[in-house]
Structure 1
Amino acid sequence: MQNATITVVLGVDARPNQLEALAREAQTRGAHLIVLLLSETPAVPVYSMGVGELSTYSLPAGWQADVDAAREAVEKQRAEFSLYLTDQGASADVRAVCGDASALRNTVARAGLTCDAVLIGTDLREDKRLFEDIVHAALFESAAPVLLNTAQAKVALTRNRSSSHGKRAFPPRERPAPLCQSCAMRGRLPWRFSTRSRSRPMTGKTPVPMSPLG
């Protein structure tokens, strides 16, 4: 794919050198990479939220420290990836995403609406639950094709019209031809009013439906 935008979704265990081949192929094809580094943090416990106007939060001990540590680690990871891709000469935008599972799913779904394909790294398989959530969001909440288990960068950036199973790897976003107004009305209304000379003369009463459409 020439001049395409590819979203690459990776986890906290990913290393910059994993993108060496992809960055080189993207540079050759003029593609732009959007790298999402996902780091899941524990959600705010429900019981910590107070009830009433004068109530306060009661976070468990160590919760904020864990969140801060996760954010610091993923930000450091983002800096390493950004520096590496810059040295490779690739056009890339590296983003650190830190939040609970719901926030990570929403981020991947939104990214899939503004790119040509979503590539999900195999390192996310270390967390089966998170991996399934991310794949579900990419498949059913976004509009871009999803690539899994892609070890070869050239394959990831090649638009194959047919696969080994006879299906298109990148199905075109075809839209059905719009119906004209009369066809749309005929599809919804089983009866029609005749306005020709054979229709009954208007006598101030409501027109009577004529024969059904053939």
Structure 2
Amino acid sequence: MDHSTILFVINQKTSNDAISDLAHSCAARQIHLACFLLGSAPELPTYAYGVPPYGGMNIPDNWQDLVDQAHQTQRDRVQEIEGLLSTSGVSGDVQSVMCPTRDIKQLVAHRARVCDIAHIASNVRDAPEMLREAAHGILFNAPVGLLLNGSPASPAKRVFVAWDSSKAASRSIHAAMPYLKEADDVIIGCFDPVMTPGNDGADPGTDVAAWLSHHGCKVMVSQYPSGGREIGDSIIDRAKEAGVGLVVMGAYGHARMIEAVFGGTTKTMMEQTDLPVLLAH
């Protein structure tokens, strides 16, 4: 984790305390903090759109003033954040974008491709569309993990890995390896495993446990029945019972469209705020 780069996705409402706290944690571990400030570009009011050839754009007289003011507010916030980073002594930078919501995923993903882990500020939950687009950009278009809740610069003493032998679960472990190596205990949790050679094997979880043991991790494997409950709720319950500080799991192991329509484990884990969770797809 030391000497790594953390992408911190924020917006104008992210508090100075949240930025400073993470900056000080990063400074202590020589972590580079890459702040990515998202701003929403002003949108034309509905009445401004004409229907050619019967009508043209009816742009408000103060439209340019609104745009200029929004950009100035964004520039002022960038300067303020740069001051916070300087005061903390952290190695960091601030990049700023103002764009329609639909463009967020591409811009965030592009920045995340040269970072080690991505973290979205907790207050961004108050802008659900911004959170969704930023998270999907990281998970589907960047090779890094996404950490929600908690602090990406602070190690967890106990980590819970939700393992199902999927590619997404494997990628989440690769992304979480620095945290796993620093943990005192790693719990591999398998829920309703399918004990066949083509699925989870005769003894689910032992293969990943052996792999992590070679990395020096202290690993315990547990197999849990869900009892018909949603897997996300089962993960939360078991993780809380174990007193873990981080949950690691694959995101969107099923078709994204299916999970978007019916919910799913990923949605459950992204919406909860009690446990830090590291996701990868």
TM-score interval w.r.t. the shorter chain? 0.5 to 0.7
Aligned residues of 2:22 and 2:151 also touching (Cα < 8 A): no
Question: Within 1, Cα distance between the matches of 2:172 and 2:89?
Answer: 27
SS in 2 for 1:95: strand
SS in 2 for 1:164: strand
Compute the TM-score of the two structures, normalised by the length of structure 2: 0.52
Aligned residues of 2:12 and 2:74 also touching (Cα < 8 A): yes
Q: How does 1:104-115 map to 2 (within 5 A)?
A: 104-115=104-115
Higher share of residues assigned helix: 2
Q: CA deviation at 1:44?
A: 5.7
Output one character per residue of 1:161-199: Cα deviation in whole Å (capped at 9) or x when no partner: x831345795327xxxxxxxxxxxxxxxxxxxxxxxxxx
The aligned counterpart of 2:25 is 25
Q: CA deviation at 1:151?
A: 4.6
The aligned counterpart of 2:122 is 122
Aligned residues of 1:48 and 1:60 also touching (Cα < 8 A): no
The aligned counterpart of 2:161 is 165
Higher share of residues assigned strand: 2
One-letter identity of the residue aligned with 1:128? P
Compute the TM-score of the two structures, normalised by the length of structure 1: 0.66
Q: How does 1:81-120 map to 2 (within 5 A)?
A: 81-120=81-120
Greater RCO (Cα-Cα under 8 Å, separation 6 or more): 1
Query: Structure 1 pair 142/61, CA: closer, same or farther in 2 (3 Å)?
Result: farther
Query: Structure 1 pair 72/137, CA: closer, same or farther in 2 (3 Å)?
Result: same
SS in 2 for 1:7: strand
Structure 1: gaps spanning 5 or more residues: 174-214
Query: Structure 1 pair 110/50, CA: closer, same or farther in 2 (3 Å)?
Result: farther
Q: State the structure with more CA Rg.
A: 1
Count residues in correspondence: 167
One-letter identity of the residue aligned with 2:106? N
Aligned residues of 2:101 and 2:130 also touching (Cα < 8 A): yes
SS in 1 for 2:135: helix
Query: Structure 1 pair 128/86, CA: closer, same or farther in 2 (3 Å)?
Result: same
Question: Within 1, Cα distance between the matches of 2:174 and 2:141?
Answer: 17
SS in 2 for 1:13: coil
Single out whichever of 9-18 and 56-65 deviates more from structure 2. 56-65
Aligned-residue sequence identity (percent) comes to 23
Output one character per residue of 1:90-127: Cα deviation in whole Å (capped at 9) or x when no partner: 00001221121133322101011111011001111111
Query: Structure 1 pair 152/119, CA: closer, same or farther in 2 (3 Å)?
Result: closer
Indicate yes or no: 2:142 matched with 1:146.
Answer: no
Structure 2: gaps spanning 5 or more residues: 164-169, 176-281
